[in-house]
A = this chain, B = another copy of it.
């Protein structure tokens, strides 16, 4: 351990050569206090599952207070309800009404993406938001069906059961998937495995969402162009859809439908543009869909355009959610399908909701507990599946409107939920003449916001590999299918992690002139190498997945350096210093690799030196006896110390 009292002559002699920068006090590489096995295990478990110290508030409290805190942990509403006041209520009511006006037309449209009757979209905006309001901790998220998850659910379910031929079974499968999506989400949160959703990379999500937006818009073409045939493709890839659209052209697109659809789409896009330009006018795009629905419905009702081939909604059942618990498949051949679909759709729903919750929490600077949030989202889907709802999550567009309309708490979700319930009870018959083309226009204008070109450009600028992941997911969704696109994004995300782990960076360091600081010679061209000494920094823990690479790479750096020195007539390298600061951990394979490196270097008459091993590494170097093999005096506190000892030895050898 670079002991300054070491009996080794070279080391002691060298002490006088330390320059001003590493002054008289020479520190040893400390072996940290040995922790017990239990303590070590506890610390790993804590960092993995409880890094946010969720029980921190419970410390040093009376039992009754602890119970209250426990209830509050599950139902945050208990916590903030006591501080609720009229000012907050005003904000919540305004925002709740705004998102309600936005969600009603969207719900009807999104239900179609899931191959379900429009009423199920409305049902899903009634019960789940109430559950979330009690259990959720995000103040800004707006709960309900969303486009991407609806599409995903629809695609996955129709691959198992045909929704037209077997509507009852299809519906049961959708509820089953919803139930298991909820179980899955709550389970992840309960087991504190929430970090798993971090494995879906931001870049892949951007690509996937963009692709899904294109796919969803393509799906709307049928309604938008008034194509009536039943032979329209069920595939979602762009090639199949466009072929279907154009082979149906001779059957006749319906021009009235196109006129209605286009004019209202234009109106919606203009409203969107206005809202973007003037943040104060955020309510214009928020209520534009409802206005479109009202105006167009009235127009069709007056002109009876439905008799000219303009397709209309026709009928939405009146009344709130019926119980659907008995419809869930808890056995039989569709059970596994339900679990699988629920798992996939639940994961996507979760990713979206947590991303939204985190974004707005950062904007308003409050904390979101990801795991608790998952329990809330899971519970709302489980309860939803028992009350005729399909998978819901946080909607990005509605959450943004909610935020801008001044929501204060989850009460805005309650307000929205009440409005939806009233709609279901009293207003649904009025939707009879609503043209389908309007719903298509509303969906198109909503999902276009998911295509985030700025984010893609930023990803391109920052990381080309990330961009590849982004584009892979995008084109996978657009040209193949939603599942394949999702699969591509997951695979690329994992491949990137694995690449990072197998091929850590190694750098040659040089000394910055006039300091005792050693830096990457590529980044700091003024950093100079010290003749006869090669300093390599390894930028990762050394594990089985990269130990061979690290050893081989170090030997390659050495070979290249020796060749350069030979050409330049410089002295041969006699010391290889491995700067270990970034090496946070090492396993048996890593130790083994170091041993092999030591042997290889010894055969070439080169001394291996370690600088600044961290606490865990130091411990393991000693546990494995590698510290004895390399000898303790060859382990230093920092590169500067190591160089100070090597330089005079080198001078001796040359002399």
Binding site for B on A (CB under 8 A): 20-25, 27, 30, 32, 37, 40-41, 44, 47-48, 51-53, 195, 198-203, 358, 362, 365, 370, 455, 458-459, 461-466, 493, 496-505, 507, 512-517, 519-520, 522-526, 539-541, 543-549, 552-553, 556, 581-582, 584-589, 591-592, 596, 599-600, 603, 612, 614-615, 618, 620, 623-624, 637-638
Contact = CB atoms under 8 A, between A and B. Distances in A.
A522 B552 contact: no
Given A27-B515, A47-B503, A584-B504, A523 B618 contact: yes
Copies of this chain in the oligomer? 2
A27 B539 contact: no
* Pairs of residues from A and B, 10 with the lowest C-beta to C-beta distance, nearest first: A25-B514, A582-B582, A523-B615, A201-B544, A539-B584, A202-B589, A362-B596, A461-B623, A32-B523, A505-B584
Contacts of A545: 198-199, 201, 493, 497
A546 B500 CA distance: 13
Nearest to A204: B544
A591 B51 CA distance: 21
A126 to B, nearest CB: 32
Contacts of A202: 544, 587-589, 592
B543 A497 contact: yes
A47 to B, nearest CB: 5
Given A503-B47, A543-B497, A620-B462, A32 B201 contact: no
Nearest to A537: B581
A525 to B, nearest CB: 8
B462 A624 contact: yes
Contacts of A501: 497, 500-501
A517 B20 contact: no
A242 to B, nearest CB: 32
A639 to B, nearest CB: 10
Contacts of A22: 21, 515, 517
Given A25-B514, A461-B623, A523-B614, 7 more contacts: A52-B556, A198-B546, A358-B548, A362-B600, A459-B588, A540-B540, A540-B541
11 contacts: A27-B515, A48-B499, A51-B552, A201-B587, A201-B589, A362-B599, A466-B587, A504-B584, A519-B612, A540-B584, A581-B582
Nearest to A497: B501
Contacts of A203: 544, 587-589
A623 B51 CA distance: 31
B549 A365 contact: no
B51 A549 contact: yes
Which among A25, A202, A466 has the highest number of chain B CB atoms within 10 Å? Answer: A202
Contact of A51 (B466, B503, B603): B503
Contacts of A362: 596, 599-600
A637 B463 contact: no
A502 B195 contact: yes
A515 B198 contact: no
B32 A522 contact: yes
A52 B550 CA distance: 11
